[in-house]
């Protein structure tokens, strides 16, 4: 860390805490993140560095001293007698090596790891009495979560009854698959609603619905990977996962028990390459000491378990130039902007277009024609502009003007209350008629064979 005085550290830390609290509120409570994961992680790590260098500036309410977000919802609150903690993060293989050396020093000998994929979802606890599901709850702030039992009963891979009359608690991740995420966002955009930024927030917003029927439609799934109180014969993490699988829980079968760090690195390389081909989103790899006895001995810090760590993938981004912004009219009259860009390779495909969703989104990002932008794939599937590279903006750049008339029929566009979308409300608009007829003939509707978009 560069030389910095105590007063400078205090001021910077206070500023970082304020910003991180705002970002965390948007992410955890509103399911609407304002920045990408890597931006949040950079600020969080900087705050940790400052607090480590100057312990006297640590405050009890610092975001580094708590887990997850604050609880502010209409759901019944649930206390977690055993806290649902988050994990420590590292961002390089060198840091993983440091973690391994620290574990060996603490334990006194080399350790074996159960290595698992880090699922991009939200934490979920499932409690059973005599083999019957009695409660499902979110992590919340780690100590108090939300009772989402009614909604969890609509997630098809959560067993309602176990084949053995166990009174137990398991934990894992509730997630939304890539295909379901893309479908949900397409539907929301067509309805003029705000789209979800990523599958994690889509899953959180879907699980925390006051109407369980909405949750049922959203096609959520789970991966269970933690047994809070396993039977005595279960002595390792890989045994626990196998037994949970045998009991009917949905577990991720890619996990492996590995003996050396070289094997761990090979696993990371393998799934860095496979990441885009998975049907669900992952944002890293998790290392857990496989021996549950050693886990218990090492225990936890205030915020994280000492015996596990998450290796986070670096953000996969490309820079490209916005050459045009085109507007298309959907069957419901919603008019959607799309950025047309210089083609780039991203997550295994060539990308030249990205939806800008609605005028509010376009204005919030401040995108102009001719801008250099950073492009990534939300949920590894939907091309999305994360930010404008302001340093590369041309001096003669001018702000983009949102259109006021329909690009198809020329009628005036309207902004309906409670919607983020612009709409054309002309029922004779050619684009709406075309889209409506195409939808009418499609397989999910009337299914008229041979009547596709080209014929229409």
What does 136-190 look like in DSSP terms, one character per residue?
Answer: EEE-TTSSEEEB-HHHHTT-TTS-SB-SS---EEEEEEEEE-HHHHHHHHHHHHH
- Of the listed ranges 72-76, 199-203, 257-261, 399-403, the least confidently predicted one is 72-76
pLDDT tens track for 86-128: 889 998 999 999 999 999 999 999 999 999 999 989 999 999 9
| Predicted TM-score of the model (pTM) | 0.70
Show the tokens assigned to 52: 């480590």
Residue-level pLDDT at 294: 96
Length of the chain measured in residues: 456
Show the tokens assigned to 102: 């620290």
How many Cα neighbours within 13 Å face the side chain of 87?
Answer: 19
pLDDT tens track for 139-179: 988 899 999 999 999 999 999 999 999 999 999 999 999 99
CB 303 within 8 A of CB 284: no
Under 8 Å CB-to-CB from 394, ≥6 apart: which residues? 370
Query: Is the torsion defined by CA of 199, 175, 381, 431 positive or negative?
Result: negative
pLDDT for residue 71 is more than 60: no
Q: What is the mean pLDDT of residues 393-417?
A: 93
pLDDT for residue 30 is more than 80: no
CA distances from residue 234 to 84, 282, 357, 396, 418 in whole angstroms, order as listed? 21, 27, 49, 67, 53
- According to DSSP, the residues that pair with 409 across neighbouring strands are none
Show the tokens assigned to 85: 């903690």
Give the separation between CA 250 and CA 244, rounded to whole angstroms: 8
Q: Which residue has the tokens 């979802």?
A: 121
Instruction: Please report which helix (H) or strand (E) contains residue 308, including its range.
Output: strand 308-312
CA distances from residue 144 to 69, 212, 218, 417 in whole angstroms, order as listed? 10, 21, 25, 36
Report residue 27's pLDDT band, with 50, 70 and 90 as the boundaries: low
How many whole angstroms from its chain centre is CA 117? 14
pLDDT for residue 318 is more than 80: yes
pLDDT for residue 244 is more than 70: yes
CB 128 within 8 A of CB 166: yes
Return the ∠ at Cα 321 (arms to 315 and 324), rounded to 5°. Answer: 125
CB 78 within 8 A of CB 145: yes
CA distances from residue 58 to 41, 63, 243 in whole angstroms, order as listed? 18, 10, 42
Residue-level pLDDT at 226: 96
Report residue 80's pLDDT band, with 50, 70 and 90 as the boundaries: very high
Do the domains at 77-312 and 318-441 have one common CATH topology? no
Count the Cβ atoms, other than its own, within 10 Å of residue 160: 11
Residue-level pLDDT at 305: 93
Residue tagged active-site, from 118, 178, 288, 377: 118
CATH of domain 318-441: 2.40.50.140
pLDDT for residue 413 is more than 80: yes
| 10 is annotated as an active-site residue | no
Report domain extents, the chain: 6-65, 77-312, 318-441
| CATH T-level topology, domain 77-312 | D-amino Acid Aminotransferase; Chain A, domain 1 (3.30.470)
Give the separation between CA 304 and CA 88, rounded to whole angstroms: 6
* Torsion angle defined by CA atoms of residues 203, 207, 209 and 214, in that order, rounded to the nearest 10 degrees: 80
Return the ∠ at Cα 315 (arms to 312 and 317), rounded to 5°. Answer: 170
Return the ∠ at Cα 299 (arms to 294 and 301), rounded to 5°. Answer: 145
Give the separation between CA 387 and CA 375, rounded to whole angstroms: 8
Instruction: Spell out the CATH class of 6-65.
Output: mainly alpha
Show the tokens assigned to 26: 């948007």
Residue-level pLDDT at 2: 58
Q: What is the mean pLDDT of residues 348-359?
A: 88
Alpha helix (H) residue ranges in 169-211: 178-190, 199-207
pLDDT for residue 398 is more than 70: yes
Helix (H, G, I), strand (E, B) or coil at 222: strand
Q: Which residue has the tokens 């490309």?
A: 318
Show the tokens assigned to 22: 């705002």
Under 8 Å CB-to-CB from 70, ≥6 apart: which residues? 24, 25, 28, 29, 141
Count the Cβ atoms, other than its own, within 10 Å of residue 237: 27
Residue-level pLDDT at 35: 64
Q: What is the largest CA-CA distance in the chain?
A: 77
Residue-level pLDDT at 286: 97
Report residue 447's pLDDT band, with 50, 70 and 90 as the boundaries: confident
CB 50 within 8 A of CB 58: no
DSSP 8-state assignment for residue 98: H
DSSP 8-state assignment for residue 27: I
């Amino acid at each position: 860390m560069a030389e910095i005085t105590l007063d400078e550290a205090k001021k910077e830390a206070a500023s970082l805490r304020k910003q991180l609290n705002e970002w965390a509120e948007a992410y955890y409570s509103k399911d609407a993140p304002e920045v990408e994961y890597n931006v949040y992680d950079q600020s969080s790590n900087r705050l940790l560095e400052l607090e480590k260098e100057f312990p006297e500036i640590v405050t009890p309410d610092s975001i580094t001293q708590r887990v997850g977000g604050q609880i502010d919802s209409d759901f019944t609150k649930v206390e977690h007698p055993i806290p649902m903690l988050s994990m420590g993060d590292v961002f390089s293989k060198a840091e993983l090596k440091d973690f391994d050396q620290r574990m060996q020093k603490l334990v006194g000998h080399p350790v074996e790891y159960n290595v698992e994929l880090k699922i991009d979802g939200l934490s979920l606890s499932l409690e059973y009495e005599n083999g019957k599901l009695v409660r499902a709850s979110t992590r919340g702030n780690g100590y108090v979560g939300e009772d989402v039992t009614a909604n969890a009963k609509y997630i098809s891979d959560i067993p309602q009854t176990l084949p053995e009359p166990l009174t137990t608690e398991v934990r894992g991740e509730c997630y939304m698959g890539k295909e379901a995420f893309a479908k949900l966002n397409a539907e929301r955009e067509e309805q003029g609603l705000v789209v979800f930024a990523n599958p994690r927030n889509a899953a959180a917003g879907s699980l925390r619905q006051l109407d369980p029927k909405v949750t049922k439609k959203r096609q959520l799934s789970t991966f269970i990977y933690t047994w809070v109180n396993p039977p005595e014969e279960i002595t390792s993490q890989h045994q626990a996962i196998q037994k949970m699988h045998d009991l009917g829980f949905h577990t991720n079968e890619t996990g492996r028990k590995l003996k050396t760090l070289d094997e761990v690195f090979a696993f990371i390389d393998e799934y860095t390459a496979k990441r885009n081909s998975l049907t669900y989103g992952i944002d890293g790899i998790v290392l857990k000491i496989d021996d549950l006895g050693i886990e218990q001995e090492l225990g936890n810090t205030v915020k994280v378990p000492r015996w596990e760590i998450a290796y986070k993938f670096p953000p996969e981004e490309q820079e490209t130039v916005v050459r045009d912004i085109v507007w298309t009219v959907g069957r419901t009259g919603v008019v959607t902007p799309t950025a047309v860009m210089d083609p780039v390779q991203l997550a295994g495909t060539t990308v030249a277009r990205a939806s800008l969703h609605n005028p509010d989104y376009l204005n919030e990002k401040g995108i102009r024609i001719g801008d250099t932008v950073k492009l990534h794939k939300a949920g590894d599937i939907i091309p999305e502009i994360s930010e404008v590279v302001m340093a590369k903006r041309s001096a003669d750049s001018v702000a983009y003007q949102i259109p006021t008339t329909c690009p198809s029929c020329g009628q005036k566009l309207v902004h309906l209350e409670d919607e983020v979308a612009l709409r054309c409300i002309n029922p004779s608009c050619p684009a709406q008629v075309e889209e409506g007829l195409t939808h009418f003939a499609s397989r999910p509707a009337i299914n008229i064979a041979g009547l596709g978009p080209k014929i229409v």
